[in-house]
């Protein structure tokens, strides 16, 4: 089913999103972090993790399942490691604080590790490793998530899709940024497709009876997504469950509450953030030159049939961000309607939108 599209600038959508979350009780600084994370996802083309999620985050805040003002106490447990109690705060706020601490520890000791418990869905995982690369550090972000994927060989959705993100700074080249879920595609993309009345491709998931389906909502509502690469994706998801859940003291192995479906309590999600100083073995300038050289060699590879060029991890998203900064962020009619309803609820004005792509700066 086709959907009409409107376009908003990144700055206007950030202001709108921040205003919504301030009305919901977040301090201004925290509301701005949430807004920046969501809009950054839209800019990079990950619309399933962008402003479309405002209504569900707002619902959980109103129900008291998310703490709008966590204190984010940090307990340093070793010279290079700390534990952070998220106090059921917004995952974007918790994650940003945790990576900030990880980078500070890495500056002092070479490597910084922060384990987080009692957190919530933290949006686009790439956001946190981009935070590290902006500080000239290598960044890792691990998280578990609510159950939606069965372990390979099983049918019960116990694992989350458990995304992994890694960011590595370079010199004249953009940072290399990997952000991937352990499923064939993210569950949020399936839900977004269902919202638009669009089927998902075959082989991506099963319904609650374990039957293959092309209905994203059947997968999202009681079914299970398939791990990418069969046992390989499943094994990585199990590893993320250990890191994000078992290691940190967070909920694990199916105990986390679903963002969209379970309102019986806080989510209790766990994350691990790591930062590494790139100058541990060689000077930073030399590291960046070596990164550029590696990227050049990979991109100089002869493209395979059907491919125009060799792309580095994160390069398609960076190009999409450049494009949407110029043209604006597209919002489907369904997403726009949900934002209009939220704006009415919190009594704020919707941002000015355009019915066509823009030519100026977002």
- Regarding beta strands 164-168 and 138-143, do their DSSP bridges make them parallel or antiparallel, or are they unpaired? antiparallel
Q: Which CATH number fits domain 192-226: 3.40.50.920, 3.30.60.50, 2.60.120.10, 3.40.50.1390?
A: 3.30.60.50
- Residue 150, pLDDT > 90, answer no
C-alpha dist (Å) from residue 166 to 126, 176, 179, 180, 272: 7, 8, 7, 9, 12
Please write the tens of the pLDDT for every residue from 221-263.
Answer: 778 888 999 999 999 999 999 999 999 999 999 999 999 999 9
For the domain made up of 70-183+229-324, the CATH class stated in words is alpha beta
Q: What percent of the chain has pLDDT over 70?
A: 97
The answer for residues whose C-beta is within 8 angstroms of residue 283's C-beta and 6 or more apart is none
Q: Say if residue 188's pLDDT is above 90.
A: no
Burial class (CB in 10 A: 0-12, 13-18, 19+), 24: buried
> What is the maximum span of the chain, computed from C-alpha positions, in angstroms?
56
Q: With a cut of 90, say whether residue 197 has pLDDT above it.
A: no
- The answer to whether domain 1-62+328-362 has CATH 1.10.1530.10 is yes
Could you report the per-residue pLDDT of 72-114, keeping only the tens digit for each?
Answer: 999 999 999 999 999 999 999 999 999 999 999 999 999 999 9
The domain segmentation of the chain, as residue ranges, is 1-62+328-362, 70-183+229-324, 192-226
pLDDT of residue 127: 98
* Residue 78: partners with Cβ closer than 8 Å, 6 or more residues away: none
Comparing CA positions, the residue from 145, 189, 195, 192 lying closest to residue 165 is: 145
Most confident of 194-203, 266-275, 350-359: 266-275
Report how far residue 258's alpha carbon sits from residue 315's, in angstroms, rounded to the nearest whole number.
31
Neighbour count for residue 344 (Cβ, 10 Å):
10
Looking at residue 80, what DSSP letter applies? Answer: T
Task: Kindly indicate the confidence band of residue 194, based on its pLDDT and cuts at 50, 70 and 90.
Answer: confident
pLDDT the model gives residue 360: 58
């Amino acid at each position: 089913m086709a959907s009409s599209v409107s376009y908003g600038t990144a700055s206007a959508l950030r202001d709108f999103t921040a205003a919504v979350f301030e009305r919901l009780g977040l301090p201004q600084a925290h509301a701005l972090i949430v807004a920046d994370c969501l809009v950054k996802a839209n800019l990079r083309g990950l619309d399933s993790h962008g402003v479309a999620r405002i209504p569900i985050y707002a619902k959980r805040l109103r129900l008291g399942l998310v703490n709008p003002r966590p204190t984010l106490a940090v307990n340093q447990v070793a010279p290079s490691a700390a534990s952070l109690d998220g106090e059921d705060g917004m995952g974007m706020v918790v994650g940003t604080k945790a990576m900030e601490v990880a980078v500070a520890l890495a500056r002092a000791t070479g490597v910084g590790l922060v384990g987080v418990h009692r957190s919530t869905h933290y949006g686009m995982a790439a956001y946190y490793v981009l935070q590290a690369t902006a500080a000239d550090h290598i960044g890792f972000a691990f998280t578990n998530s609510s159950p939606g994927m069965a372990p390979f060989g099983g049918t019960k959705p116990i694992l989350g899709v458990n995304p992994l993100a890694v960011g590595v700074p370079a010199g004249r080249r953009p940072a290399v940024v990997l952000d991937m879920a352990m499923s064939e595609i993210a569950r949020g993309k399936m839900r977004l497709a269902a919202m638009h009345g669009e089927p998902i491709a075959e082989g991506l998931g099963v319904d609650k009876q374990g039957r293959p389906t092309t209905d994203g909502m059947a997968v999202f509502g009681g079914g299970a997504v398939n791990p990418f690469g069969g046992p390989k994706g499943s094994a990585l998801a199990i590893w993320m469950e250990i890191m994000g859940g078992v290691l940190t003291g967070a909920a694990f192995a199916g105990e986390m509450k679903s963002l969209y479906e379970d309102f019986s309590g806080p989510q209790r999600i766990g994350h691990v953030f790591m930062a590494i100083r790139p100058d541990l073995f060689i000077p930073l300038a030399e590291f960046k030159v070596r990164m550029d050289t590696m990227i050049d060699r990979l991109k100089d590879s002869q493209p395979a049939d059907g491919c125009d060029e060799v792309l580095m991890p994160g390069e398609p998203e960076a190009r999409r961000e450049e494009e949407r900064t110029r043209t604006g962020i597209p919002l489907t009619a369904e997403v726009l309607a949900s934002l209009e309803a939220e704006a009415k609820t919190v009594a704020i004005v919707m941002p000015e939108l355009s019915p066509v792509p823009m030519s100026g700066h977002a």
